[in-house]
A and B are shown apart, each in its own frame.
Chain A
């Protein structure tokens, strides 16, 4: 089992603030890393799939980076909006079917 740590556990920001959170994982046996966004009363939805050291992915105002050598990934949200309020989960994997989820960062964006 991979020990996955996400920080912070929760975050409260004002609309328009930019924010970032961290996902840390053991750097050995790395296969890929997924980021998911989970809004209340909905299903978790995939944001990014990252595989290579130095990967950077972007979707609108949200971007992510990956460092497999040191075992971390950052998720950035630029100019947070209330609709960004959700729990963000990272899931590094050691093979194609073994992905281990962190406990998530719960983001609340106040209007």
Chain B
């Protein structure tokens, strides 16, 4: 089974801190994604990457950046955390760009971030 591992299940940070959320997948998937989930809202796409060193903005990229130096690892960076970034963050990956049946998302367990 494909595994997507997020480094931290729960984090508590202070306003203004730099925050790194790490995600690793072990099945050679090309695509990787970061979503956030807030009560009453669907999962919202922050950034995605379809190749090493490639990234594209999702629907809510403001206040975030990403890094993909290796195929298996996709990091989400909050340069200066703010309270409105308190949320559940989900990383996901999918196999092959452009193949309908193969772009189903495999998710990590999520990282719940609280910014005080």
A contact residues vs B (CB 8 Å cutoff)? 1, 4, 31-32, 34, 36, 41-46, 49, 51, 89, 91, 96-104
Contact code string B14-39 (vs A, CB < 8 Å = 1, else 0): 00000000000000000100010000
**Number of A-B pairs, beta carbon distance below 8 Å:** 59
Shortest Cβ gap from A107 to chain B (Å): 16
**Cβ of B43 under 8 Å from chain A:** yes
Classify chain B's interface size. 20 to 34
Shortest Cβ gap from B66 to chain A (Å): 14
- The chain A residue sitting closest to B97, CB to CB, is A96
- The chain A residue sitting closest to B94, CB to CB, is A97
Q: Tell whether A34 pairs with B105 under 8 Å between CB atoms, given A1-B59, A4-B42.
A: yes
Chain B binding site: helix, strand, loop or mixed by DSSP?
Answer: loop
**Which listed segment binds A: B70-78, B79-87, B107-115?**
B107-115
CB of A96 within 8 A of CB of B98, answer: yes
The docked-state distance in angstroms from the alpha carbon of A44 to that of B35 is: 12
Shortest Cβ gap from A3 to chain B (Å): 10
Q: Tell whether A49 pairs with B100 under 8 Å between CB atoms, given A44-B90, A44-B107, A99-B105.
A: yes
The docked-state distance in angstroms from the alpha carbon of A108 to that of B99 is: 34
Q: Tell whether A43 pairs with B42 under 8 Å between CB atoms, given A96-B103, A97-B50.
A: no
Contact of B43 among A1, A51, A98, A101 (CB under 8 A): A101
CB of A96 within 8 A of CB of B100, answer: yes
